[in-house]
Each structure stands twice: as structure tokens, then as C-alpha cells.
């Protein structure tokens, strides 16, 4: 079993102490966000083939990564860095600091241990396509040589995303747009070409209609990458989380509405203030990342 920690939250940035206690205990419990059932997930070497961590700030997770490696688990860190204005992501780490932390991961755990995510691509009056071309070029030059892959996706505008974007737009005086598919495809093709020129493999997360030549589908939960890191085969069937997703089968141990980064485009948070309250109520000694109520 591959364990995902977590596309529902940012465990490395905010819940590292909890994760270490769960690793020591050999299990955690999570609540199914759709049905409310409670599941117990083993975190022992016998049960876990590897970990995939998702974060915007791997710095607080240094100790946890060392412990994961000491226990013999292979892992991949999916690190998001977009460099957006504070009106869009209120409290994330500056990209140059993320680049340095990714360099530490590469030096400590190998050239395949980290993947850079430039996602979601969001079009606003502050971040139009020309801005993305300039911004991505700067970031890609910084990440080149530290990662071998960059993952894109265009922002998915769910009802909660629309609400949070509209509220932020009113507060910070910007407008936003969900472009036509052809426009999305054209911008992604340009960004992918920049990535290839800098030696980065460009991939696209679960949006097959936006693929173009030179832009491959992403496998964010990637058994092949974990196998390379482990030095042994890790078998896991493909079982995507939504249409177009090619991820290997995994169990996620996070909770929605628990990441206080404050990114207004986030699909995993209904309201930023709710995520902050849940984080403040979090108990590192609980078997749950966020205890059920």
C-alpha cells in the first residue's frame, strides 16, 4: 500500500508532529470525507510500500523525512511553488526558500525524491498568461537541476473555489477568469516548452483534454518513481482519484478543511477561517489528523 500524506491538507507544513507520533504508533485513523466512515490505516513497514508527501513548505518536515528514511520507507515529496501574489495565497513560503529546501531533499535523498508542482494555473488580472510565462520561466530556471519533473494543472472551479475567489477578488480588487479550453491548452503548451528547454519533464495532472504534444499525463502517486528510490519493484495498480487521473492506488491520511495556508483557489478548503479553526483545534496526540465531531 502507498500512503498519501496528503492531497487533502499540508501534513508536512502543519502536522509533522502528529505524523511522527502516528508513525511511532504504527497506525492512524481517518474519516471518509464522503460517507463519514472511520478507517484505521496501518503505518508499519509490513503495510506501507512507500509514502507520497504533498506540501508547500517541506522545511518543518525535515525531522520526519529523516525518520521515514531511517525506517526504510521510500518517499516522494510533491512540492508546490507558484509565486502568486499574496492576494491569492496569503501565507505560503517564498519560492526561493522552497527551491533551497528542495535542494536539501535532493542532496539528502536523491534526484528523484522531489517533484515540483506549478499548479493550479490560475488566470486573474494580476496573473494573466504573459505573467505566467515570465513567472514560470524564473521559477523553472531555479528548480532546474533540483527536480526532474514539473506537474501542471489548470485551476478547477468548484462551487467553493468560486466563492473563495469571488470573496478575495472583492477584498483585493482583482478579477479572475476560467479560460476556454483552447486558451488553456495554448498556455500549457508554452509552459511545457519552457520546461523542456530547461531539462524538466512537463506533465499534466488529470486533465486529459488539455494535453498537447510534449506534455504527458502526470502520475503523482507514482509507483515507478518510488521503485527507483527504493531500489526494488513496488507494485501498485493504477487507480485514479477522478477521471483522467493515472495515480497508483493509495490511501490518503489527511483531512479536508485543515490547511491554513489561505490559498483562495484551493479545492480542499471550503472557507479559510474554517481551516484555521480546525488547525488550532488539532491534537497531535490524536489518532486522527482532525478529530471527528
Domain boundaries, the chain: 2-281
CA pseudo-torsion sign 119, 125, 129, 131: negative
- The rounded distance, in Å, linking the Cα atoms of 80 and 116 is 6
Residues 108, 113: Cα–Cα separation, whole Å: 9
Question: Apex CA 258: angle with CA 146 and CA 149, to 5°?
Answer: 20
Per-residue pLDDT at 164: 96
From CA 172, how far away is CA 88, in angstroms rounded?
A: 9
Tens of pLDDT, residue by residue, the chain (293 residues)? 999 999 999 999 999 999 999 999 999 999 998 888 999 999 999 999 999 999 999 999 999 999 999 999 999 999 999 999 999 999 999 999 999 999 999 999 999 999 999 999 999 999 999 999 999 999 999 999 999 999 999 999 999 999 999 999 999 999 999 999 999 999 999 999 999 999 999 999 999 999 999 999 999 999 999 999 999 999 888 887 787 899 999 999 999 999 999 999 999 999 999 999 999 999 999 999 999 87
For the stretch 85-88, contacts whose Cβ atoms lie closer than 8 Å and that sit 24 or more positions apart, written own/partner, are 85/126, 85/127, 87/126, 87/168, 87/171, 87/172, 87/174, 87/264, 88/122, 88/124, 88/126, 88/127, 88/168, 88/263, 88/264, 88/265
Cα–Cα distance between 103 and 90 in angstroms, integer?
24
Q: What is the per-residue pLDDT for 244?
A: 85
Amino acid at each position: 500500500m502507498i500512503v498519501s500524506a496528503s492531497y487533502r491538507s499540508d501534513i508536512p507544513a502543519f502536522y509533522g508532529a502528529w505524523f511522527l507520533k502516528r508513525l511511532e504508533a504504527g497506525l492512524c485513523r481517518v474519516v471518509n470525507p464522503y460517507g463519514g466512515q472511520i478507517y484505521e490505516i496501518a503505518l508499519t513497514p509490513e503495510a506501507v510500500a512507500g509514502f507520497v508527501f504533498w506540501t508547500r513548505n517541506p522545511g518543518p518536515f525535515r525531522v520526519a523525512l529523516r525518520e521515514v528514511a531511517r525506517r526504510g520507507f521510500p518517499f516522494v515529496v510533491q512540492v508546490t511553488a507558484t509565486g502568486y501574489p499574496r492576494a491569492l495565497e496569503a501565507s505560503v513560503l517564498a519560492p526561493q526558500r522552497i527551491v533551497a529546501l528542495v535542494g536539501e531533499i535532493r542532496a539528502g535523498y536523491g534526484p528523484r525524491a522531489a517533484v515540483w508542482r506549478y499548479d493550479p494555473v490560475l488566470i486573474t488580472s494580476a496573473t494573466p498568461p504573459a505573467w505566467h510565462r515570465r513567472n514560470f520561466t524564473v521559477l523553472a530556471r531555479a528548480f532546474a537541476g533540483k527536480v526532474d519533473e514539473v506537474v501542471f494543472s489548470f485551476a478547477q472551479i468548484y462551487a467553493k473555489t468560486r466563492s473563495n475567489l469571488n470573496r478575495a477578488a472583492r477584498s483585493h480588487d482583482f478579477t479572475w477568469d476560467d479560460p476556454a479550453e483552447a486558451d488553456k491548452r495554448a498556455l500549457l503548451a508554452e509552459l511545457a516548452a519552457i520546461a523542456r528547454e530547461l531539462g524538466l519533464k512537463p506533465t499534466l495532472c488529470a486533465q486529459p483534454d488539455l494535453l498537447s504534444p510534449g506534455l504527458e499525463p502526470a502520475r503523482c502517486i507514482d509507483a515507478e518513481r518510488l521503485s527507483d528510490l527504493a531500489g526494488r519493484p513496488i507494485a501498485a495498480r493504477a487507480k485514479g482519484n477522478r477521471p483522467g487521473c493515472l495515480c497508483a492506488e493509495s490511501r490518503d491520511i489527511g483531512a479536508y478543511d485543515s490547511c491554513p495556508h489561505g490559498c483562495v483557489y484551493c479545492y480542499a478548503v471550503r472557507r479559510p477561517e474554517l481551516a484555521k479553526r480546525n488547525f488550532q483545534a488539532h491534537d497531535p496526540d490524536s489518532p486522527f489528523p482532525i478529530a471527528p465531531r
